[in-house]
């Protein structure tokens, strides 16, 4: 069985290092907000190219806490791609704001040319989601944000270390939000997240907010939350980060092989926007008309695939209250019926990939 993702493989590449670090943290007797968190925050900020990093409990927390501290809430609108992951939309609505959806382009990221039409006098921010590991067009997005005085929050949960125009994503907007959910590029061994920013005051407030609104113990200056990155995850993330460039290059090699060796004309391979690069969080093909059939065909050959994502947020039950109907975002809805994520994980063998490529090329051939 070839799985769509295989976290055990990546773990096994450096298992001894993780075990050593885990024991070190357990033996230290210090588990929350200590030296591992501080060190990881410094290392992550440096890796991304931001001044500050604040470790949090999840990627969703990074999103909603960003909006909260940027004062974006009830009555405000936030622009987001219609084909986003549901967490992106929840990050907006948790503060009472309204998501305003914009269709994606052929790169499966927000179509920046359609953003201006979606701006109203209630628009306060753009949430730029770097989906599947590929950067959005941050030049256009930042130009629009400056023109209309909007905040920009980057959702880099799937984009750990890729670039737009040579600059790492997460450094363009007011904040860059990261999830370290185990399947993400730099994945923890549990839940974890972070925000990067160059804004010193905002970084300070984020640190206070994540810890019940207190800087000094029992002196609570605001109603905050409990969203602390723990020492064990931070320590393990430091080990992961030390290998992240190797992981990203390996995924690029796997993607290049799919690009060159998949020849079945029914399969549309992912396109990369000129100026962007991808860390290949997912290798997403479009299979118009035959997606479900191909998925079954591969499953029968013991090859697992996934759909990111089968139900667009505007059609999910959670957002029925927004009043959208099928047909409101035709490109997004078409994508939901066409996209398929092929097996992609660190530690994937050449033989495994040959099996996947062979099966795909033999489909209806
Ligand atoms: C994973 C993910 C999130 C949420 O992160 P969690 O750590 O699971 O809360 C948000 N946005 C995107 C694009 C994601 O892929």
Atom number, ligand 1, closest to the C-alpha of residue 179: 7
Within 6 A (CB) of ligand 1 lie 58-60, 85, 87-88, 129, 155, 157-158, 179, 181, 191, 193
What is the pLDDT, as a whole number, of residue 365?
87
Same domain, 172 and 190: yes
Mean pLDDT, all residues of the chain: 97
Q: Flag whether 357 is in a domain.
A: yes
Helix (H) or strand (E) holding 100: strand 98-102
What is the pLDDT, as a whole number, of residue 72?
98
pLDDT, tens digit, for every residue of 110-165? 999 999 999 999 999 999 999 999 999 999 999 999 999 999 999 999 999 999 99
Q: Flag whether 1 is in a domain.
A: no
pLDDT, tens digit, for every residue of 309-318? 999 999 999 9
Report d(CA 335, CA 353) in Å as an integer.
Answer: 25
| 87 CA to centre of ligand 1 in angstroms | 6
Q: Render the burial of 12-25: b for 16+ CB within 10 Å, e for the rest.
A: eebeeebeebeeeb
Total domain count for the chain? 2
The helix/strand/coil state of 280 is coil
Same domain, 223 and 260: no
Q: Flag whether 237 is in a domain.
A: yes
Q: Hey, what are 346's tokens? A: 């660190």
Closest residue by Cα to atom 14, ligand 1, is 157
Distance separating the N- and C-terminal Cα atoms of the chain: 23
Percentage above 70 pLDDT, the chain: 100
Average pLDDT over residues 275-282: 97
| 179 CA to centre of ligand 1 in angstroms | 5
Atom number, ligand 1, closest to the C-alpha of residue 61: 9
The helix/strand/coil state of 28 is helix
Across 109-228, the runs of DSSP E, i.e. the strands, are 123-129, 151-155, 163-164, 167-168, 175-179, 193-197, 214-216, 219-220
Range of the domain at 312: 244-362
Same domain, 176 and 196: yes
Q: Render the burial of 241-263: b for 16+ CB within 10 Å, e for the rest.
A: bebbeebbebbbebbebbeeebe
Confidence of residue 188 (pLDDT cuts 50, 70, 90): very high
Q: Flag whether 165 is in a domain.
A: yes
Closest residue by Cα to atom 6, ligand 1, is 59
What is the pLDDT, as a whole number, of residue 294?
98
Same domain, 325 and 195: no
Q: Hey, what are 122's tokens? A: 């209630």
Same domain, 282 and 209: no
Helices (H), the chain: 7-13, 15-28, 35-48, 59-69, 86-93, 115-118, 138-148, 200-209, 231-242, 244-261, 291-300, 330-338, 350-362
| 61 CA to centre of ligand 1 in angstroms | 9
Q: Say which CATH number the domain at 155 has.
A: 3.40.640.10
Q: How many CB atoms lie within 10 A of CB 307?
A: 17
Closest residue by Cα to atom 13, ligand 1, is 157
Q: Is the pLDDT of residue 26 over 90?
A: yes
The upper half-sphere exposure of residue 112, i.e. CA atoms within 13 Å in the direction of its Cβ, equals 16
Atom number, ligand 1, closest to the C-alpha of residue 130: 13
Same domain, 184 and 224: yes
Dihedral sign for Cα atoms in the order 195, 49, 230, 207: negative
User: Contact at 8 Å (CB) between 84 and 332?
Assistant: no
User: Contact at 8 Å (CB) between 55 and 196?
Assistant: no
- Is pTM beyond 0.75? Reply is yes
| 60 CA to centre of ligand 1 in angstroms | 6
- Residues 6+ away with beta carbon under 8 Å from 225: 61, 65, 209, 210, 212
- Residues 6+ away with beta carbon under 8 Å from 66: 91, 153, 174, 175, 177, 195
Residue written as token pair 């089968």: 310
Same domain, 271 and 339: yes
Q: Say which CATH number the domain at 297 has.
A: 3.90.1150.10
Report d(CA 283, CA 344) in Å as an integer.
Answer: 7
**Triad 56, 60, 65: Cα angle to 5°:** 65
What is the pLDDT, as a whole number, of residue 44?
98
């Amino acid at each position: 069985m070839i799985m769509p993702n295989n976290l055990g493989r990546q773990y096994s590449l450096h298992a001894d290092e993780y075990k050593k670090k885990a024991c070190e943290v357990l033996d230290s007797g210090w588990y929350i907000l200590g030296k591992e968190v501080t060190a990881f925050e410094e290392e992550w900020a440096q890796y991304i190219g931001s001044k500050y990093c604040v470790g949090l409990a999840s990627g969703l927390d990074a999103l909603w806490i960003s909006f909260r501290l940027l004062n974006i809430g009830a009555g405000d609108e936030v622009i987001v791609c219609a084909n986003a992951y549901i967490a992106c939309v929840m990050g907006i609505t948790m503060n009472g704001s309204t998501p305003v959806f914009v269709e994606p382009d052929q790169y499966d990221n927000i179509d920046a040319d359609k953003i201006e039409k979606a701006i109203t006098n209630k628009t306060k921010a753009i949430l730029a989601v770097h989906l599947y590991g590929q950067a959005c067009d941050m030049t256009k997005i930042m130009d629009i944000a400056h023109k209309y005085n909007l905040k920009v929050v980057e959702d880099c949960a799937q984009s750990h270390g890729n670039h737009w125009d040579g600059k790492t994503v997460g450094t363009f907007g007011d904040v860059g939000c990261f999830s370290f959910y185990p399947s993400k590029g730099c994945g923890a061994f549990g839940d974890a997240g972070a925000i990067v920013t160059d804004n010193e005051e905002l970084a300070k407030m984020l640190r206070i907010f994540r810890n019940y609104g207190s800087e000094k113990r029992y002196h609570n200056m605001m109603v905050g939350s409990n969203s602390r990155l723990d020492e064990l995850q931070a320590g393990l993330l430091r080990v992961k980060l030390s290998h992240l460039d190797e992981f990203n290059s390996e995924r690029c090699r796997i993607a290049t092989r799919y690009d060159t060796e998949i020849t079945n004309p029914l399969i549309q391979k992912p396109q990369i926007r000129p100026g962007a690069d991808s860390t290949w969080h997912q290798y997403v093909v479009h299979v118009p008309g035959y997606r479900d059939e191909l998925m079954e065909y591969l499953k029968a050959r013991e090859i697992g695939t996934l759909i990111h994502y089968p139900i667009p947020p505007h059609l999910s039950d959670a957002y029925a209250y927004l009043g959208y109907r099928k047909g409101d975002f035709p490109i997004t809805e078409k994508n939901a019926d066409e996209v398929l994520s092929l097996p992609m994980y660190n530690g994937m063998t050449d033989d495994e990939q040959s099996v996947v490529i062979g099966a795909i090329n033999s489909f209806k051939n």
